[in-house]
Amino acid sequence: MLRKLAGIIYDMVEKHVDMDKTIQRIKRGYTCTDADARTKCRGVYVERISMILVVVLASVVLAVLLWGRTALRPETVVIDRPGYGGDKGTKTLETEVDGQKKQVNVDVLPIEYDESELEDVFDLGFTEIEEIYLGENESADCIQSDLDLPERLDDTGLDVAWISSDQDVVTSTGKLLKSDEGDAELVKLTAVLSYGEHSAEREYNIRVTGRVLDAGEKAEKAISDFVKNTQMENRASGRIELPSEIEGYSIEDTAGGSGAIPVIFLGIISAVCIWMGARAKLSKQEKERKQQLMIDYPELVDRLILYLGAGVTIRGSFVRMVQNDDESALMKELRYTLNEIQAGIPEGEAYYNMGHRINIPVYMKLMSMLSQNVSKGTKDIMIMMAGEEQAALQTRKELARKKGEEAGTRLLFPMIVLLGVVMVIVVLPAVMSF
């Protein structure tokens, strides 16, 4: 289904986009006729368009699901509060004042105990302290190591303050200062548990009437006070749902959108990458084919000189070269050229076509020379081929040098890795000896 749709899209695009350059690149990457190259071009891009359609379709479906999830989400705003004794947080809400969006930061208070529960909570806190405060000491009658005096009880959310009657013996942090010389001393440790305003010391909050608030500040205060009062009224509730409108101000949760737009954007980026990947693949194949043809060029010249020196015609030389089962790019080009000649194309024109099909300067020069020899019967073809042989030998040397340089570059990274390993072997014993 998608492949058929991709074919329709390609046919529509092909009418408005010049594919001749792509077809020529395919012919340089593969040995084929114009019709085969056009068919192969269509197959390559239909496959790519199919992949693009899959990515775009998946992106749209995911975006719709995310948008639907956001649309179906209840209009009430939910606040997730920290546990008992947790830190006060902040949540950003959005309201509309005079037709303009305004963000309001409200305090998110932790869950609180009811006053009637505090006595039992403090009992639990002291029970927990009695289980751990001795630390590694076996009993309170024989203290020989530091005490474990916690400053906070996470399970109950209580803060702990310690008071030592003798700081020279045991500090309020539980550190043991007295040595084992002399008589044992009695030290009284006092643990003070506190939770919010309920502790040995109390503090009072005051409310200050200040300057007249503008519309935005009134909205912020109204929403903040409402959220705070709601949390105070529901001290033990972990989640609080807020109405969609507070004191005449509509509120929205600014945390987390649907995520549909980023998904669509990523889908478009992926589609572009897939489309560009088709061109990159053709370029890579063209480059590899060109390298192989350059490697085979010196051998082609040597064999041509050998056959021509033995009195064999150029066409006969090509026939003898393609008799083996070699499927290299050069052999395919030679077979293609022989097929053109058998199909009725003049021999000189077939050689000329081969040079321009390969589109490499040395091949274009050689094929033009062979074409001229067939058309005009040049007598000094062997002298010209001898000069071409010298050029081919130089080309072979340059290719060998280039391959050597590339090999050296590829070996650079393994050498760096080995150097790092050697450095670790040399330095690690010295570091461990300290």
Tens of pLDDT, residues 297-317: 888 888 888 888 888 888 888
146: pLDDT strictly greater than 60: yes
**pLDDT of res. 128:** 81
256: pLDDT strictly greater than 60: no
**pLDDT of res. 182:** 58
Neighbour count for residue 295 (Cβ, 10 Å): 17
What is residue 363's three-state secondary structure? helix
**pLDDT of res. 203:** 32
**pLDDT of res. 311:** 82
Cα(410)–Cα(417) distance, rounded to whole angstroms? 12
**pLDDT of res. 201:** 37
Choose between 240 and 18: higher pLDDT.
Answer: 240
Give the pLDDT band (50/70/90) at residue 84. low
Quick one: tokens of 71?
């649309």
**pLDDT of res. 295:** 81
Neighbour count for residue 397 (Cβ, 10 Å): 11
Strand 152-153: give its sheet, edge to edge: 152-153, 158-164, 189-194
Give the pLDDT band (50/70/90) at residue 205. very low
Among 88-102, 112-126, 406-420, the minimum mean pLDDT is found in 112-126
Among 80-89, 174-183, 232-241, 377-386, the minimum mean pLDDT is found in 174-183
**pLDDT of res. 17:** 64
CA angle 402, 403, 404 (to 5 degrees): 90
Query: Which residues 6+ apart lie within 8 Å of 55 measured at CB?
Result: 267, 270, 271, 274
363: pLDDT strictly greater than 50: yes
Q: b/e string for 196-210 if b means 16 or more Cβ within 10 A?
A: eeeeeeeeeeeeeee
Q: What is the mean pLDDT of residues 294-298?
A: 82
Choose between 333 and 202: higher pLDDT.
Answer: 333
210: pLDDT strictly greater than 50: no
* Percent of the chain at pLDDT exceeding 70: 79
Give the pLDDT band (50/70/90) at residue 204. very low
287: pLDDT strictly greater than 60: yes
Mean pLDDT over each residue of the chain, to the nearest integer: 75
Quick one: tokens of 192?
């003070």
Domain ranges of the chain: 2-70+261-283, 76-110+206-243, 115-194, 284-410
**pLDDT of res. 257:** 57
140: pLDDT strictly greater than 60: yes
**pLDDT of res. 372:** 83
Cα(348)–Cα(325) distance, rounded to whole angstroms? 26
**pLDDT of res. 212:** 43
What is residue 338's three-state secondary structure? helix
Whether the Cβ atoms of residue 145 and residue 135 lie closer than 8 Å to each other = yes
Quick one: tokens of 107?
């305090």
Q: What is the mean pLDDT of residues 236-241?
A: 78
Give the pLDDT band (50/70/90) at residue 207. very low
What angle do helix axes 260-309 and 381-410 make, rounded to 10 degrees?
140
Cα(195)–Cα(118) distance, rounded to whole angstroms? 9
Which among 250, 253, 255 is positioned nearest to 97, based on CA atoms? 250
DSSP 213-231: P-HHHHHHHHHHHHHHHHH
Which among 195, 176, 194, 172 is positioned nearest to 185, based on CA atoms? 176
pTM: 0.41
Quick one: tokens of 414?
């393994």
**pLDDT of res. 209:** 31
β-bridge mates for residue 299, sequence order: none
Choose between 355 and 118: higher pLDDT.
Answer: 355
Q: What is the mean pLDDT of residues 370-389?
A: 75
* Percent of the chain at pLDDT exceeding 90: 0
**pLDDT of res. 206:** 24
Q: What is the mean pLDDT of residues 120-149?
A: 73
C-alpha distances in Å from residue 333, one per residue of 91, 214, 323, 328, 329: 71, 84, 13, 9, 6
- Indicate the DSSP class of residue 12: H
The upper half-sphere exposure of residue 271, i.e. CA atoms within 13 Å in the direction of its Cβ, equals: 17
**pLDDT of res. 245:** 78
How would you write 395-430 as a 3-class SS string?
A: HHHHHHHHHHHHHHHHCHHHHHHHHHHHHHHHHHHH
Cα(45)–Cα(30) distance, rounded to whole angstroms? 16
**pLDDT of res. 399:** 75
- Report the Cα 135 to chain-centroid distance in Å: 48
